[in-house]
Amino acid sequence: MDVMASNLREINSLNQRGGRMLSVVDLIEDGTLDEPTAGLMLSFVAAGASFLTAAGPGGVGKSTLLAVLLSFLPPGERVRTVTDPAAVGEPDEPTCWLCHEVGAGHWFGYLWGAQAAEFFALGECGRIAATLHADTDTEIVAQLLGPGVGAAEEDLARMDLLLTMVREGGRRRVSTVYEATEGAAAEFRPIVEWDRGRDTFEAAHSERLQSRVPVERATEFIEGLVGRNVRYLEDVMGAVAEFYAEVTQ
């Protein structure tokens, strides 16, 4: 199985709602995020960022948002769901290690305790991607550094991007996008925040992002996907692969 087909299978395994897995175009159409926020996300992923999506209650869409980020991976980078970090060896290809949820459940792809701590250590040999239940960056850090997981702070500091979500009435929104600060401490700053009153996304300048894909060009690409109504996940992934080929010429 080629890498894209394998990744599509791994991403679809995150689907908890039935039907097809929603894509970035679906989320933009629903107002969950906007084109500039999606462009920022794509630029971070192109730069090799590890990422985590979070929401306090279930059913808000953190797994769907994670799937969208995974659909932005460069061609040739393989997604591997981790069920036992101790059994993971040194990868022989670019790898994104996936945890369906950092949580104390017995479902496929869930990790907790020492296994979850070991999962975050995999950031030394690839990027990592996960979800968990939390509403803010402070809650995320406290949960992962606390006794339930006990992750090492230097491992958590390698999480370049945290995205939190909220559900208010019928609206599901990315509430904040955080980037990691410089250094070994697990500290984050907001770079996109949702304005509840105006229902808009307010972006700040990223102090860390250095990517082969400028945010402006990534945003134009996302706008093109929306304009062409490219909403099936496999079609988005194919378009993303073509986009990477164009920007690296």
Q: Reduce the secondary structure of 49-113 to three states and give it as a string.
A: CCEEEECCCCCCCHHHHHHHHHCCCCCCCEEEECCCHHHCCCCCCCEEEEECEECCCCCCCEECH
Q: What mean pLDDT comes out for the span 129-148?
A: 97
β 101-102/78-81 pair status: unpaired
Tell me what percent of the residues of the chain surpass a pLDDT of 70: 100
pLDDT value, residue 227: 98
Q: How many CB atoms lie within 10 A of CB 80?
A: 17
How do strand 127-132 and strand 161-168 relate by DSSP bridges?
Answer: unpaired
pLDDT band for position 184 (cuts 50, 70, 90): confident
List all residues 6 or more positions away from 64 whose beta carbon is below 8 Å from its beta carbon. 14, 17, 21, 22, 27
Provide the pLDDT for residue 18. 81
Beta bridge partners of 167: 172
When the pLDDT of each residue in the chain is averaged and rounded to a whole number, the result is 95
Give residue limits of the domains in the chain: 3-247
- Is 154 exposed, middle or buried (CB count within 10 Å of its CB: 0-12, 13-18, 19+)? middle
Per-residue pLDDT of 3-16, as tens digits, reads 999 999 999 999 97
Q: Looking at residue 27, what is its pLDDT?
A: 98
pLDDT at res. 6:
96
Q: For residues 69 and 45, is the Cβ–Cβ distance under 8 A?
A: yes
pLDDT of amino acid 221: 98
Amino acid at 154: E
Residue 1's pLDDT band (boundaries 50, 70, 90)?
A: low
What class, spelled out in words, does domain 3-247 have in CATH?
A: alpha beta
Query: What is the pLDDT at residue 71?
Result: 98
Examine the pLDDT at 249 and tell me if it is beyond 80.
Answer: no
- Over residues 171-186, the mean pLDDT reads 94
| pLDDT, tens digit, 9 for 90 and up, residues 31-85 | 999 999 999 999 999 999 999 999 999 999 999 999 999 999 999 999 999 999 9
pTM > 0.85: yes
pLDDT, one tens digit per residue, over 196-222 is 999 999 999 898 898 889 999 999 999
Q: How far is CA 225 from CA 81, 154, 231, in A?
A: 27, 37, 8
